[in-house]
Structure 1
Amino acid sequence: MFDFRIPEVSDREWMQPALTASGGMGSEFAFGTLYLWSDAYATKVCKTDDLILRCSGGPMRMTYQLPLGNGSMRDQVERLLADAKERGCKFRIWGLTKEQTEALEQEMPGKFRYQLDRASSDYIYDTQSLIQLSGRKYHSKRNHLSRFQRTYDWSYEDISPDNFKDCIAVARAWCEQNGGCGEEDGTDSENCAIHKAFKYYDALHLSGGLLRIEGKPVAFTVGEEINPETYLLHFEKALSGYEGLYPAINQAFAAQHLESYRYVNREEDLGIEGLRKAKLSYYPAIILEKYVVTLLEETPEIPEE
């Protein structure tokens, strides 16, 4: 049985190089994702001589991710199957791409069910498109941004310890504007993750930007590098009452800091219709589909969309 444990900030030192080397573009390949949401998803990690493992949930409902390290996919999955059997829990792997499901089916045919988890699939954008907003399809985005820049006395600044409290104030005000942060809609967990992000900002190698209007903090974004080609945005919060504020913080931070990256991952839509529409409106270069793998004899847990 693998010796899983709750991740600590110091684990970034040995985990992020392996996550980066894997070549994955999903949000789960950033250590910050694993750590910031560890309370919400009961995330745990394990390091053996030849594998790095991640899981969530438990003890009777473990959800694994594919291990990082040596050995064939078949060997790695068989070791996860053995771990689940020893624990007496259902077997479940989350986060496989379409290509990985096809490879697993080739190596272990007829053993698994593969279900698309569309709500957890990541939206990945061409960085230059987010910065330039050029072409007919971004016409409305450019208009919103231009109107914002003409209408408001605004300023942009990088996030640093000097303005952590201002960002937290924006997050708190956003919660109040949206009915308060509660467990029912997941905003309580997000608020906890935001506080952890600022508490361990430097240790997690995060970066971000803050927008002010007439000196008042009104929007911020925070993210981290997944690999030299892909940057991940963890949080993007903007107060209501200011037209074009989301496009403004999105474009300003990308223009200031993301020029060297080919892609920007803006995470999933959680199955929320309005959020899905907003993310699609920026025309993602890739919708990184993620699949759940279960044994054929076990009951599926992801409803078909």
Structure 2
Amino acid sequence: MLEFKKLTLDTISEIAPYLELHPQRICDWTIGGTYIWRDAFRYEYAFGAGNLIFRMRIFDDECAFTVPLGGDREEGMRLIQEFCAKCDGEHDLQYCIVGDADLPVLKEFYSEMDICEERDYFDYLYEVEELLTLRGKAHRSTRNNINRFNRVYPLNRLRVIDQDIIPQVHDFLDNFIKKTAETNEMILEETKKIHEVLDNMETYRAFGAALYAEEEVMVGFSMGEYEGDTLYVHVEKADTDYRGAYQTLMTEFVRKFAHENIIYVNREDDAGDPGLRKSKLSYNPICLVKKYTVKNLVPK
């Protein structure tokens, strides 16, 4: 029977090799995407039939599993079925963070299922070249904001986050949250984990950069990681009092970290926020990486 354990930073070395096997460019299948949200969604993990399997809580505290990753996936699904059966109905089996490439795997094992698109959690995937050149009418507003920022703050610069400025980034984040109009448990949990990433960047395999409008005036920072041909941007915070800071931060961060082997940038989802959705669509994504929840499963 599967034995689920709590995720901690000490488990990253165990988990990371399995995440690297996922080919779908889904942000949840990265170290940052998993560990930043591990407590918010109460992640647990188990290994079975050569697979990594997550169990977590989603939506109204419902239990969900991820499609087995890494080994004999059909046997992994049998183990999940067995686990749920032995829990005396405590868990109605459903799968979350299901990508397009996972659906055929599920359809091989289950004769019936309900597939629900989770639009609020689709990832925004961009081509590096698109974000660096910002050509065409679609990017006119972005170009204008960047040009204004450069004109008003001609001494602005991007600095890689290192030990010397980590304390300043911590302070910026705390002040950023204090100025946030609305906070909730998710925002506070994310903030807590961003502080954790800053203090454990090597463990997270993360990197970052801060944007300065003037010599010592930090106006934003971003953090991310690489997986395959994709740069994942997990954190992006900027002071909106400095018009154009977000757009400048986005472009300069990609310019700094998108080396020649990086083709795509994943800027994660919009969580259903209308303003964030409008903003992320304005950068002209090459596609939205779909995610599904699959429930009401009937094995063959």
In 1, the alpha carbon distance for the partners of 2:242 and 2:189 equals: 26
Check if 1:170 corresponds to 2:172. Answer: yes
Residue in structure 2 matched with residue 208 of structure 1 by the alignment: 208
Alignment of 1:127-206 (within 5 A): 127-152=128-153, 153-179=155-181, 181-183=183-185, 186-206=186-206
Separation in 1, partners of 2:280, 2:8: 32
Determine whether 1:270 maps to 2:271. Answer: yes
What's 1:75 paired with? 75
In structure 2, the partner of 1:92 is 94
Give CA deviations for 1:256-305 in whole Å, capped at 9, x if unaligned.
111331111111110111111111001111201100011159xxxxxxxx
8 Å CA contact retained: 1:225, 1:231: yes
The unaligned stretches of length 5 or more in structure 2 are: none
Amino acid at match of 2:77: V
- TM-fit CA distance, 1:170: 1.9
Query: How far is the alpha carbon of 1:106 from its aligned partner?
Result: 4.7
Structure 1 runs not aligned, ≥5 long: 298-305
Q: C-alpha separation between the residues in 1 aligned to 2:265 and 2:128?
A: 6
**In structure 1, distance between residues paired with 2:48 and 2:110:** 24
* Whole-angstrom CA distance in 2 between matches of 1:46 and 1:181: 33
Letter in 1 for 2:135: S
Q: How far apart are residue 182 of structure 1 and its match?
A: 3.3
Compute the displacement of 1:53 (Å): 1.3
Cα deviation per residue 1:193-222 (whole Å; 9 max; x = unaligned)?
111111211111100110112221110000
Q: Secondary structure at the match of 2:10?
A: helix
Output the amino acid matched with 1:231.
Answer: L
Asked if the contact 1:181–1:191 (Cα under 8 Å) also holds between the matched residues in 2, the reply is no
Q: Does the alignment pair 1:280 with 2:281?
A: yes
Separation (CA, whole Å) in 1 of partners of 2:105 and 2:203: 36
1:21 corresponds in structure 2 to: 21
> In the aligned structure 2, how far is the partner of 1:16 from the partner of 1:239?
33
Matched, 1:42 2:50: no
Query: Is the contact between residue 96 and residue 291 of structure 1 (CA under 8 Å) also seen in structure 2?
Result: yes
> Are 2:240 and 2:246, in contact at CA under 8 Å, matched by a contact in 1?
no
Q: Deviations over 1:158-181 (max 9, x none)?
A: 011211122122211221221364
* Aligned-partner Cα distance in 2 for 1:82–1:61: 18
Tell me if the contact between 1:43 and 1:54 (Cα under 8 Å) persists in the aligned partners: yes
- For 1:246 and 1:32, locate their aligned partners in 2 and report how far apart those are by CA, in whole Å: 21
Cα RMSD after superposing both structures: 1.9
What is the aligned length? 291
Give the equivalent residue in structure 2 for 1:7.
7
TM-score, normalised to structure 1, is 0.89
Percent identity between the two aligned chains: 24
8 Å contact from structure 1 (residues 230, 263) kept in 2: yes
Q: Is residue 64 of structure 1 aligned with residue 71 of structure 2?
A: no
Residue 196 of structure 1 aligns with an amino acid whose one-letter code is: E
Structure 2 residue aligned with 1:52: 52
2:117 maps to 116
| 1:255 to partner: Cα distance | 0.6
Conserved in 2, the CA contact under 8 Å of 1:177 and 1:240? no
Distance 1:92 1:272 in 2: 25
CA 118–142 in structure 1, closer or farther in 2 if over 3 Å, else same: same
Match of residue 218 from structure 1: 219
**Cα distance, 1:64 vs structure 2:** 0.7
1:32-83 Cα offsets, whole Å, 9 max, x none, are 221121111111112345121112129x842111111222x44332322221
Q: Please give the alpha-carbon distance, in whole angstroms, between the structure 2 residues aligned to 1:289 and 1:209.
A: 28
